């Protein structure tokens, strides 16, 4: 089982990779207007989904933090 920090790092890397892939895909279309706005909207929706999953807006979180000495 992976730690929460590793999972969050994976989510961040996934968001950046997906956004880069979408940007590279969209940039090849000259007729596609509002590329930057569309990509920012998609990236924000991904972040909202992750925030909702981890209850970032509320003080309560379902994350279980493993103490650092556990890994030593």
* Residues 11-18, mean pLDDT to the nearest whole number: 82
pLDDT digits (tens, 9 = 90+) for 20-68: 777 777 777 666 677 777 777 877 877 777 777 666 555 555 555 555 5
**What is the torsion angle, in degrees rounded to the nearest 10, for the CA atoms of residue 69, residue 64, residue 12 and residue 40?**
-150
Residue 60: left if φ>0, alpha if ψ -120 to 50, beta else—which one? beta
* Residues 11-26, mean pLDDT to the nearest whole number: 79
Does the reported pTM lie above 0.85? no
pLDDT of residue 59: 52
What SS3 state is found at 61?
coil
In the chain, domain spans: 4-54
Q: Which among 72, 5, 14 has a CA at the least distance from the CA of 46?
A: 14
């Amino acid at each position: 089982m992976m730690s929460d920090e590793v999972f969050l790092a994976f989510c961040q890397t996934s968001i950046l990779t997906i956004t880069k892939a979408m940007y590279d895909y969209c940039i090849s279309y000259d007729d596609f207007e509002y590329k930057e706005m569309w990509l920012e909207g998609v990236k924000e929706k991904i972040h909202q989904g992750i925030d909702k999953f981890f209850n970032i807006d509320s003080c309560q979180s379902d994350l279980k933090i493993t103490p650092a000495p556990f890994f030593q």
